[in-house]
């Protein structure tokens, strides 16, 4: 009996240590029972995600798609990557939600309910590309710290909301304004209410673009909780970390915003090229703004088998941050030669574009299809990994799939 009590107390102490607080009435826990706080939730059911999504982290939750899951022209929630820095907010009441505009460079601090935003400002819908700055991090060598994203931390959903510009102008923007910073209701991993998980921002020029939205709908429905319900910022074409979730305050700043994840190596790359593994001083790091040109083959799935003599239709998406993709090519000989793909115009600025091509293989054997996009300034994707940086950002190397002709 004494031994069982000792084991139970030891187990209880372990549970309490993991949870981070005393389990009141813990001695009454039935044998073999694991407290709910320690039971692993099913992220696919929890967030409504496709079963083939890949979980990279659960504290906080981070999930990515696989290339073939992103074949839809408009990304549905089930296949949209999930990138969180803290814990998802709890007990949200959209009816009581307010957005406050403040900061050194606001004429008059002002707050709005979601109902007031919808009633007092014109509503817009844009399809906008969001890509994690670390998408492709897994290819860097030496390895970069952080979630080891492969190619699936990108999406292009339809977002509905009001223009941030209209709301900022309603509150009033002083002449010395240079930046905005957002603040959200997500909970710091430590659960310390005085700490923010992330509080990033953008220069005024980006904040005032037509397509920069305070969004309350995604694909025609309320934004899913994990993606920022009931209100989030959307700034397409820049790293998705600029598009803050669960936004309840936006500050108009007279300096570059200095919130959480704005300094050090966070969402920054060396201002000048450095050798792999080299340490870079904070003052020599530049904030990531427009994302680089990139593309993704979404059909067929890598590893496709094809009978000899049959042509293969490929398709996918391409995007270029603030710019447009003007040329799309594919190669089946490891980049020695390139063939032109057809490429569609974007449905609106900052939306990804769709490409397709018919590929002919000369004989049986193993092939790789490489995709390469070129932007409106003539900059093309590198065939392999671009310059190294400490956090593994901005990998826009050509996407590649394997094909075997039998």
Collapsed DSSP state (helix, strand, coil) of residue 206: helix
- With cut-offs at 50, 70 and 90, classify the pLDDT of residue 59: confident
Judge whether residue 7 has pLDDT over 60: no
Average pLDDT over residues 211-234: 98
Handedness of CA 37, 40, 41, 43 (dihedral sign): positive
Mean pLDDT of the chain: 93
In DSSP terms, 342 is beta-bridged to 356
Residue 17 has a pLDDT of 62
Distance CA 202, CA 307 (A): 51
* Between 76 and 27, residue with greater pLDDT: 76
Asked if 234 contacts 358 with a C-beta cutoff of 8 angstroms, the reply is no
Residue 25 has a pLDDT of 76
| Closest to 86 measured CA to CA, from 200, 256, 216 | 200
| Closest to 292 measured CA to CA, from 181, 70, 135, 127 | 135
In DSSP terms, 123 is beta-bridged to 162
Average pLDDT over residues 203-212: 98
To which residue do tokens 């803050």 refer?
244
Residue 39 has a pLDDT of 55
**And the tokens for 370?**
């490489």
pLDDT in tens, 141-154: 999 989 999 999 99
- With cut-offs at 50, 70 and 90, classify the pLDDT of residue 214: very high
pTM: 0.89
Judge whether residue 86 has pLDDT over 80: yes
- With cut-offs at 50, 70 and 90, classify the pLDDT of residue 8: low
- With cut-offs at 50, 70 and 90, classify the pLDDT of residue 31: confident
Collapsed DSSP state (helix, strand, coil) of residue 221: strand
Asked if 324 contacts 370 with a C-beta cutoff of 8 angstroms, the reply is no
Q: Counting runs of H as helices and runs of E as strands, what totals does the chain give?
A: 5, 24
**Cα distances (angstroms) measured from residue 136 to each of 68, 337, 370, 391:** 16, 24, 16, 11
Residue 27 has a pLDDT of 78
**And the tokens for 235?**
């700034």
Structural domains in the chain, CATH included, are 2-39 (no CATH), 54-287 (3.90.420.10), 294-405 (2.60.40.650)
Q: What is the DSSP letter of 240?
A: G
């Amino acid at each position: 009996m004494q031994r069982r009590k000792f084991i139970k107390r030891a187990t209880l102490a372990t549970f309490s240590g993991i949870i981070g607080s005393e389990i009141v009435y813990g001695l009454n826990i039935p044998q073999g029972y694991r407290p709910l706080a320690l039971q692993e939730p099913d992220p696919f059911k929890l967030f409504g995600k496709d079963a083939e999504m890949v979980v990279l982290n659960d504290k906080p939750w981070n999930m990515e798609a696989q290339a073939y899951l992103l074949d839809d022209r408009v990304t549905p929630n089930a296949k949209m990557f999930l990138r969180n820095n803290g814990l998802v907010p709890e007990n949200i009441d959209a009816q009581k939600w307010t957005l406050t505009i403040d900061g050194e460079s606001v004429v008059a601090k002002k707050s709005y309910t979601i109902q007031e935003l919808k009633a007092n400002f014109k509503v817009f819908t844009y399809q906008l590309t969001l890509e994690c700055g670390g998408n492709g991090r897994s290819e860097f060598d030496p390895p970069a710290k952080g979630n080891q994203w492969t190619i699936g931390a990108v999406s292009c959903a339809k977002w509905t909301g009001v223009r941030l510009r209209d709301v900022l102008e309603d509150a009033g923007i002083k002449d010395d304004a240079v930046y905005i910073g957002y603040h959200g209701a997500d909970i710091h991993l430590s659960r310390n209410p005085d700490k923010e998980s992330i509080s990033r921002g953008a220069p005024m020029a980006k904040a005032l673009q037509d397509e920069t939205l305070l969004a309350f709908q995604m694909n025609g429905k309320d934004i899913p909780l994990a993606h920022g319900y009931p209100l989030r910022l959307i700034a397409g074409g820049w790293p998705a970390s600029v598009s803050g979730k669960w936004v309840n305050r936006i500050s108009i700043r007279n300096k570059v915003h200095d919130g959480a994840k704005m300094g050090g190596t966070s969402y920054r790359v060396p201002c000048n090229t450095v050798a792999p593994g080299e340490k870079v001083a904070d003052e020599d790091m530049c904030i990531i703004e427009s994302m680089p040109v990139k593309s993704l083959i979404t059909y067929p799935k890598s590893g496709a088998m094809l009978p000899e003599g049959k042509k293969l239709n490929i398709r996918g998406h391409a995007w270029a941050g603030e710019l447009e993709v003007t040329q799309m090519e594919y190669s089946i000989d490891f980049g020695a030669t390139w063939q032109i793909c057809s490429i569609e115009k974007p449905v609106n600025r900052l939306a990804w574009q769709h490409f397709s091509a018919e590929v002919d293989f000369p004989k049986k054997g193993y092939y790789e299809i490489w995709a390469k996009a070129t932007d409106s300034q003539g900059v093309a994707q590198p065939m392999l990994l671009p310059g190294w940086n400490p956090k593994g950002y901005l990998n826009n190397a050509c996407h590649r799939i394997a094909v075997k002709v039998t």
